[in-house]
Amino acid sequence: MDSVRGHSGIHMLLAAEQQAQEIISSAKNLKTSRLKQAKDEAEREAAAYRAALEEDYKRNVSEASGSSGGNVKRLEEETRIKIQRLNDASSSCRADVVGMLLKLKQVTDEAEREVAAYRAALEEDYKRNVSEASGSSGGNVKRLEEETRIKIQRLKDASSSCRADVVGKLLKYVTTV
């Protein structure tokens, strides 16, 4: 009987092993089918998400191209406003610029009057020196004439450089405003 019992125990072990293999095989098949199902579901979700993104992109492109007329109007209005601001700013500066130009004209006229007065004074001194020295040699006359000519040239040079300096400063001030 021991042999029958040992034999029947082997059969039970073999049956249990076969049953275990079936359970394992069934579990593997179930796992494989679940993985395939999850993969298919993930692909469907990815495709749906991709389609939604594509639809958003197409909608944004159509809105952007369809509203270009609105963008043009908006940009034209912004440009008009900026031009108006520039015109307002320049009109407020116009009075200052005109005032500076008038002041430049006055300063230039005054400088020319001073130069003319100085020249007249020099000529008067020259004539007086000539009349005083009329009895003296011609060398004194020539010397005085040369000194007068040099002084007059210096005055001309000084007045022309002064005029350019005043104009330069005024233009610099005008351009910074």
Return the HEC string of 37-101.
HHHHHHHHHHHHHHHHHHHHHHHHHHHHHHCHHHHHHHHHHHHHHHHHHHHHHHHHHHHHHHHHH
Cα separation, 144 vs 135, whole angstroms: 14
Give residue-wise pLDDT tens across range 82-139: 998 888 877 777 777 778 888 888 888 888 888 888 888 888 888 887 676 565 566 6
Domain ranges in the chain?
1-66, 94-177
Against a cut of 0.75, is the pTM above it?
Answer: no
| Separation CA 146–CA 126 (nearest Å) | 10
Q: Is the pLDDT of residue 4 over 70?
A: no
Q: Kindly tell me the burial class for residue 141, based on how many C-beta atoms sit within 10 Å of its own C-beta (0-12, 13-18, 19 or more).
A: middle
Using the predicted structure, report yes or no on whether residue 18 has a pLDDT greater than 70. yes
Tell me the C-alpha to C-alpha distance, in Å, between residue 42 and each of 31, 46, 50, 55, 151.
Answer: 16, 6, 12, 20, 102
Assign 3-class secondary structure to 156-174: HHHHHHHHHHHHHHHHHHH
